[in-house]
């Protein structure tokens, strides 16, 4: 009986470990909480009248009591007047070229309550970033694409980094209201081809501003 009891205890311990592991995986997979979302842009049609519209979304994850990760996303929605084939959209969110002449991907600006631009600051980073890749956007479909690098946070502040080009830090208790706006340009370079056949959409979307408010102390 002692041997059987030992086996039973071992199984119970293993079950507890598995439940803990699965529970941890469940928490890790929890989606971010949307803290701000802009209005949808005007639909932008290409030469074949295939249209896409977009908006900015800001999400937040709280891994621990003293750390929260804020990320900027672009939501894209197929908005053609007629039903057609799925669109192939190149989302250049992993770019590392931030020169003004390079127009691909997401470009954002933050303004204060007076409408003045807030200068971003460079920051050291050696972690993971979203990958530039082709996405399929079906008729009347919507996708959300992360632009921010992963794992960025600052103590007692909101660290807002749409890409590796710069970051804004809004301290907790900052009573000012800010607005984040941007453009999302889809114009893949020659030689960057979609992995599957379909209509390649190109265009520039003007993303309406979204209000950003710091956390109260």
- For the chain, the structural domain boundaries read 1-30, 32-213
Question: Which DSSP helix (H) or strand (E) runs through 5?
Answer: helix 2-28
**Model pTM?**
0.82
Length of the chain: 217
- The whole-angstrom separation of Cα 132 and Cα 116 is 31
* CB-count burial class (<10 Å; 0-12, 13-18, 19+) for 7: exposed
Instruction: In whole angstroms, give the CA distance from residue 71 to residue 147.
Output: 7
Distance CA 1, CA 76 (A): 63
5 token code pair: 């009891």
Q: What is the pLDDT along the chain (217 residues), one digit of tens a residue?
A: 444 444 444 433 333 433 333 344 444 557 889 999 999 999 999 999 999 999 999 999 887 766 789 999 999 999 999 999 999 999 999 887 777 777 789 999 999 999 999 999 888 887 899 999 999 999 999 999 999 999 888 888 899 999 988 999 999 888 889 999 999 999 998 889 998 888 999 999 999 999 998 877 6
**Residue 15, pLDDT score:** 38
C-beta of residue 205 within 8 angstroms of C-beta of residue 184: yes
């Amino acid at each position: 009986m002692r041997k059987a009891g030992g086996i039973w205890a071992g199984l119970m311990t293993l079950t507890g470990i598995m439940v803990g592991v699965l529970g941890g995986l469940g928490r890790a997979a929890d989606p971010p909480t949307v803290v701000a979302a802009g209005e949808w842009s005007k639909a932008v049609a290409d030469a074949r009248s295939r249209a896409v519209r977009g908006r900015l979304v800001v999400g937040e994850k709280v891994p621990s009591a003293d750390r929260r990760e804020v990320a900027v996303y672009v939501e894209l929605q197929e908005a053609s007047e007629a039903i057609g084939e799925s669109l192939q959209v190149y989302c250049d969110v992993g770019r590392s070229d931030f020169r003004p002449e390079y127009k691909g991907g997401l470009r954002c600006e933050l303004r204060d309550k007076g409408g003045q631009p807030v200068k971003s600051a460079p920051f050291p980073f050696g972690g993971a970033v979203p990958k530039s890749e082709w996405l399929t956007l079906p008729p009347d479909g919507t996708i959300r694409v992360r632009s921010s690098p992963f794992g960025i946070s600052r103590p007692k502040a909101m660290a807002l980094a749409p890409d590796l080009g710069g970051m804004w830090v809004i301290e907790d208790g900052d009573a000012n209201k800010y607005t984040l706006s941007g453009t999302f340009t889809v114009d893949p370079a020659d030689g960057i081809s979609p992995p599957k056949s379909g209509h390649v959409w190109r265009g520039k979307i003007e993303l309406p501003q979204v209000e950003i408010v710091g956390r109260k102390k």
